[in-house]
Amino acid sequence: MEKKYFAHPTAVVDEGCMIGEGVKIWHFSHIMPGCTIGDQCNIGQNVVISPEVVLGKNVKIQNNVSIYTGVTCGDDVFLGPSCVFTNVTNPRSGVNRRGQYDKTHVGNGASIGANATIVCGHDIGKFAFIGAGAVVTKNVPDYALLVGNPARQIGWMSEYGHRLNFNAEGIAICEESGQHYRLENNIVTRLD
């Protein structure tokens, strides 16, 4: 059966992976058995995708990212260079915790900046934006903008990645797309 994805000759793609059409896997990356990679994903160099990881469509993974068992990503997720996911909250070299992995889900359209760390067991909402170097230690709402260590929310982002400025009525307009958003009870929804 003809493969419908590209893998650089230095990449290792184990048997038992589900890899969608149009996927590109670059230099020195390792795709482990039992993972699922959706159509049109782009996997940078030196990336490790562990067993049971699920990536939606059009996920962009920059260089030097390790995605461990327990992590799932929706469609159109961006994972910046050298960002980190954990999957055990109390790792010890002398204690085997295989099968005790905490789950982390990254929602559709979310972006995680370079060198950010996502502590396991905390979900990232759709279209959330995690700044470079942030350390996420709690769940992140949809459209939230988080920075720092530990990460704290400093605002809201549009689906196009622009800061949203809400008026007195709780309405904001994305400067690029013109999309309208409402902020009500600390929850952002897109109106159009």
Amino acid sitting at position 88: V
Q: Are residues 138 and 180 in the same domain?
A: no
What is the distance in angstroms between the CA of the first residue and the CA of the last residue of the chain?
A: 43
Q: Which domain holds residue 113?
A: 1-157
Question: Mean of the pLDDT values across residues 155-170?
Answer: 98
| Counted domains in the chain | 2
| Mean pLDDT confidence for 108-137 | 98
Average pLDDT over residues 87-109: 94
Q: What is the overall mean pLDDT for the chain?
A: 97
Residue 126 has pLDDT above 80, yes or no: yes
Cα distances (Å, whole numbers) of residue 85 to 18, 20, 28, 70, 126 = 21, 23, 19, 9, 17
pLDDT confidence band for 34 (50 / 70 / 90): very high
Q: Quick one: pLDDT at residue 192? A: 87
| CATH number of domain containing 111 | 2.160.10.10
Does 136 share its domain with 94?
yes
150 and 173, same domain (yes or no): no
Same structural domain, 33 and 121: yes
Single pTM value for the model: 0.96
Given a cut of 80, is residue 187 above it in pLDDT? yes
Q: Which helix (H) or strand (E) holds 66?
A: strand 66-67
Regarding whether 95 and 76 lie in a shared domain, the answer is: yes
Hey, what are 41's tokens?
Answer: 């994903």
Order of strands, edge to edge, in the sheet holding 171-173? 171-173, 180-184, 187-190
**Residue 58 sits in the same domain as residue 89:** yes
CA distance 41 to 23: 5
Q: Are residues 18 and 73 in the same domain?
A: yes
Answer yes or no: do 153 and 175 share one domain.
Answer: no
Is the pLDDT score of 99 beyond 80? yes
In angstroms, the CA 103 to CA 94 distance is 22
Contact of 115 with 81, CB cutoff 8 Å: yes
pLDDT score at 3: 84
pLDDT value of residue 2: 73
Tell me: do 19 and 107 sit in the same domain: yes
For residues 148 and 172, membership in a common domain is answered with no
